[in-house]
Amino acid sequence: MIKSQSNIYSNFHWADGYGAFSVGYTQLPAVKRYIARQKEHHARVSFKDEFRYFLNKYGGEYDERFVWN
């Protein structure tokens, strides 16, 4: 659908994989702060390091060979 909006989206592609984590309602303010400050945060902590941290913290099983493209 997005590619039909304009030619500027002709190179748009979804990622091959994804990760999903849920949070409780009480964590919503913290999640909103995280999203608002995400650019600055990822200047200090890489996405890969943070993703590994969450997987390990919450017991997600994964194999590095299949996580990154």
48 found inside a domain: yes
What integer pLDDT is reported at residue 11 of this predicted model?
84
52 found inside a domain: yes
14 found inside a domain: no
Domains in the chain, number? 1
Structural contact between residues 54 and 21, judged by C-beta atoms closer than 8 angstroms = yes
18 found inside a domain: no
46 found inside a domain: yes
Span 9-28, average pLDDT: 82
pTM score of the predicted model: 0.57
49 found inside a domain: yes
**Model confidence pLDDT, tens digit, residues 19-69:** 778 889 999 999 999 999 999 998 999 988 988 898 898 887 888 888 876
55 found inside a domain: yes
Domain range for 45 is 26-69
Report H helices in the chain.
Answer: 28-36, 38-44, 47-57, 64-67
